[in-house]
Each structure stands twice: as structure tokens, then as C-alpha cells.
A and B are shown apart, each in its own frame.
Chain A
Amino acid sequence: GDSVTQMEGPVTLSEEAFLTINCTYTATGYPSLFWYVQYPGEGLQLLLKATKADDKGSNKGFEATYRKETTSFHLEKGSVQVSDSAVYFCALTLDTGRRALTFGSGTRLQVQP
């Protein structure tokens, strides 16, 4: 079945450090890929998306590129801030079949001043 695998957390970084959160997927078709962020006590916010191979999604300094050859969608940010501390979920949907979000397990990011 379709699945998303994320790196285990928590990831602890100092402010202004470079961030990478790895995400790989398995899908039977051509998925759309998403990153969502969840701040403590809140719902999920869409961070960025990509709908086809080689697309780059970007928002608020975060970027991710849809790599079909490596089935990956890694999240990156050049300089993290304390306010980026949250849980990040990688997810996919397909245009056929169930058409619902399949989430990774989530990666908690802690940024220290």
C-alpha cells in the first residue's frame, strides 16, 4: 500500500542552523506531496506542496523538491528560528482510489536560542 516514511525525531537545532527533514514515499501511482506543520495545541497548517516530479514547493523559507527517481520530498530551511519549533508531517495523496492524505509519522523539531 501507499506509505510515507519520515526521519525519527526529535530534531534539536540551534537558531540559524540548517534544517533537513527526510521524507520518502511509496505509492502505486503519481502522488501529490505535501508538508504540513503543527504547532503545539493547534491544527495542521499546509506548509508547501508539489504535484509533479521536479516541482519545488516553497513557503516561509522552507523548500522541498519532488524527486521521483529517489521517491523523496525532503524539507529544508537555510536558517531556523525558535518559532519554527513544531511537528512536521510529510503526506501524499493520489488522484485515484482512496484520494485521502497518507501521513508520515511526524518529526518534532526543537530550535534552541
Chain B
Amino acid sequence: DTEVTQTPKHLVMGMTNKKSLKCEQHMGHRAMYWYKQKAKKPPELMFVYSYEKLSINESVPSRFSPECPNSSLLNLHLHALQPEDSALYLCASSQETTGFYEQYFGPGTRLTVT
């Protein structure tokens, strides 16, 4: 099974709201990722967790706060977002962070900030 699940599928939030995106994998992968994808663009890396520790933060604004409660779960907490943060947020996982291992992506959460 190579499935990564994400909830919710769609999210609409105001600029003062607090919400969370959730991602789950049961492949025993030890690396998990958050990407942001704008329309007609490739995904942009936001965060990488390796063995439940944050290993890469691509200078993402603090209104995005990642959390990795255990090896199967990854959350992205959202607070005081801006309309330009509207995008498709993709979660991915891989066996390790070394380059040989492919990443498996979830279906994404389509976020709209009003």
C-alpha cells in the first residue's frame, strides 16, 4: 500500500481563523514533507521531517506551523493566513530523506483564504 491520506480535501478559512491540515501514512516511512502548489506551478517545498524531527524549513512564514506527533502523522497548523496563501497543500512521505527514495504524495488539501 503506497497511500498517503490528507484531510480535509477542501478548506475555506478567514484571515483570523486557526485551522489544521492533517496527513497520515502507514508505509513505515521515516521522512515526511509539506509542499505548497500554486496553480500551473510545480510544488514548492515548505518543511521536511526526518525521524519526527524538523530537518528543513524553507524560510516559511511563522503563520504556518508544522508538527509531527509520531512517525505516521504530520500536521500543518494555520493561523492568520493571507489570501496569497490560497493554494493546494500537498503532503508526501519517503522511506528516508536520502535521494534514492521516491516520495509518495497525498491528494492534497485545497485551501482558500478569504
Number of CB contacts from chain A to chain B under 8 A: 53
Main secondary structure of the interface of B (DSSP, over half): loop
**B86-114 interface with A by 8 A CB criterion:** 90, 92, 97-100, 102-108
Flag if B98 contacts A44 (CB, 8 Å). Answer: no
Which chain B residues border A96 with CB–CB below 8 Å? Answer: 99
Decide yes or no whether B83 CB sits under 8 A from chain A.
no
A101–B48 alpha-carbon span in the complex (Å): 11
Flag if B42 contacts A99 (CB, 8 Å). Answer: no
Chain B CB within 10 Å, residue with most, of A93, A94, A101: A101
Q: How many residues of A contact B (CB 8 A)?
A: 24
Flag if A95 contacts B100 (CB, 8 Å). Answer: yes
Q: How many residues of B contact A (CB 8 A)?
A: 23
- Which of the residues A32, A46, A94, A100 comes within 8 Å of B56, measured between beta carbons? A100
Flag if B100 contacts A101 (CB, 8 Å). Answer: no
- Which of the residues A44, A46, A100 comes within 8 Å of B48, measured between beta carbons? A100
Mark contacts of A68-98 with chain B using CB atoms, 8 A cut-off: 1 yes-contact digit, 0 otherwise: 0000000000000000000001000111101
List the 3 shortest-distance A-B pairs measured between CB atoms, nearest first.
A103-B42, A93-B99, A95-B99
Binding site for A on B (CB under 8 A): 4, 6, 33, 40-43, 45, 48, 56, 90, 92, 97-100, 102-108
Provide 11 A-B residue pairs closer than 8 Å at the C-beta atoms, listed in order of the A residue.
A32-B99, A34-B102, A42-B107, A43-B4, A43-B6, A43-B106, A43-B107, A89-B42, A99-B99, A100-B48, A106-B42
